[in-house]
Structure 1
Amino acid sequence: MKQLLIIALLLLTANFAQAQDKIEWLKFEEAVAASEANPKMLLVDVYTDWCGWCKKMDKETFTDPAVIKYINEKFYAVKMDAEDNKRKFDFKGKSYTEAKMAAAMRVQSYPNFVIIDPTLKNITQLPGYRQPAEFLNGLGQIVDNGIGASK
């Protein structure tokens, strides 16, 4: 019995460690539903397939353990292809494609990180490639100050 308990604890620890190996990316509508059930900000990575800086973010910044941990703790993370006109979803009573949603969020350059508050009303952008420390600093300022907050 004791061995079984130890094995179970080891498996749980391994699963937890593995879960922190990467960012938990969701579809936009999944992140919205998750935020409605348990409010957190959304971090939307708006990218294109041809964007070299987007690929550099994926390879270098989004694999950094501190970035992974911070995003998974503080946000529901979303990947959104700014040129995808096929996949459709509903948001606030309207139908969108990823391209239409990126346009509605006024994204004009890539990569661009759109942060949406837990009420799903206020957004801010963090545009351009950023190395891990710089990206964490930018996200931290947004989280600490609250987006859309008038101070």
Structure 2
Amino acid sequence: MRQEKLIGSVVLVLLVASFSILAPGCVNENEVLNESGVEWLTSYDGALNLSRESGKPVMICFWAVWCSACEKYSHETFSDPVVVKTLEEGFIIPLTIDVDNDQDGIASMYGVRSIPTTLIVDSDGNVLNRWVGSVPPDMLIPILHNVSAMET
């Protein structure tokens, strides 16, 4: 009987320890998006329609909740005040696609094989620029300004 209590106690301690190790890495979609400072669209068709109406290109960021590199990209680049201001000024339409909830197959359509992947597309969905991995703010800002000067 005493051995069973000991085993039960050990299992309980291991479960609590496992949860405390894994819990900090658990992030939901809204936390990542809202903490970035950027107001992201989440509808591909809606973003392209807005692009057609406004003549502005769309920046598509492919990511996932479990992706630590994506979270870092969001916190370091899309929380940067100059990046946020550039996007708020409306030079480009920001769209995010969570690859785990991509029921329309947008990531597959663009051949996304790793995340984070960021595309700049015109109003017809043609790729103007593409990069894989995170880009620091000082590199992203000139890209956004150059692309925003293009006519879609």
TM-score (norm 2): 0.65
Relative to structure 1, the CA distance from residue 143 to residue 37 in structure 2 (aligned partners, 3 Å threshold; closer, same or farther) is closer
Deviation at 1:141, TM superposition (A): 4.4
Amino acid at match of 2:38: I
Q: In structure 1, how many angstroms separate the alpha carbons of the residues matched to 2:49 and 2:146?
A: 25
More off after superposition, 122-131 vs 101-110: 122-131
Which residue of 46, 56, 64 maps to 2:80? 64
2:137 maps to which residue?
Answer: 132
Equivalent pair of 2:91/2:144 in contact (CA under 8 Å):
no
Equivalent pair of 2:51/2:122 in contact (CA under 8 Å):
no
Which residue of 58, 62, 66 maps to 1:50? 66
Residue 25 of structure 1: SS of its match in structure 2? Answer: coil
Amino acid at match of 1:39: G
State the superposition RMSD in angstroms: 2.4
Matched positions, count: 115
1:22 aligns with 2:37: yes
Q: Which runs of 5+ in 2 are unaligned?
A: 1-35
1:91 maps to which residue?
Answer: none
2:94 maps to which residue?
Answer: 77
Q: In structure 2, how many angstroms separate the alpha carbons of the residues matched to 1:66 and 1:51?
A: 24
Deviation at 1:143, TM superposition (A): 4.3
Which structure carries more helix by proportion? 2
1:35 maps to which residue?
Answer: 51
Q: Which runs of 5+ in 1 are unaligned?
A: 1-20, 89-95
Deviation at 1:45, TM superposition (A): 0.7
Equivalent pair of 1:45/1:111 in contact (CA under 8 Å):
yes
Listed one character per residue, the Cα deviations across residues 86-106 of structure 1 (whole Å, up to 9, x for unaligned) are xx5xxxxxxx2xxx1101111
Deviation at 1:118, TM superposition (A): 3.0
Q: In structure 2, how many angstroms separate the alpha carbons of the residues matched to 1:143 and 1:125?
A: 15
Identity %: 24
Segments ≥4 residues shifted beyond 6 Å: none
Q: In structure 1, how many angstroms separate the alpha carbons of the residues matched to 2:146 and 2:131?
A: 11
Listed one character per residue, the Cα deviations across residues 106-126 of structure 1 (whole Å, up to 9, x for unaligned) are 111211111101343344312
Which structure carries more strand by proportion? 1
Q: In structure 2, how many angstroms separate the alpha carbons of the residues matched to 1:32 and 1:56?
A: 27
- Structure with greater Cα Rg: 2
Relative to structure 1, the CA distance from residue 76 to residue 129 in structure 2 (aligned partners, 3 Å threshold; closer, same or farther) is same
Residue 26 of structure 1: SS of its match in structure 2? Answer: coil
Residue 29 of structure 1: SS of its match in structure 2? Answer: helix
Q: In structure 1, how many angstroms separate the alpha carbons of the residues matched to 2:111 and 2:125?
A: 15
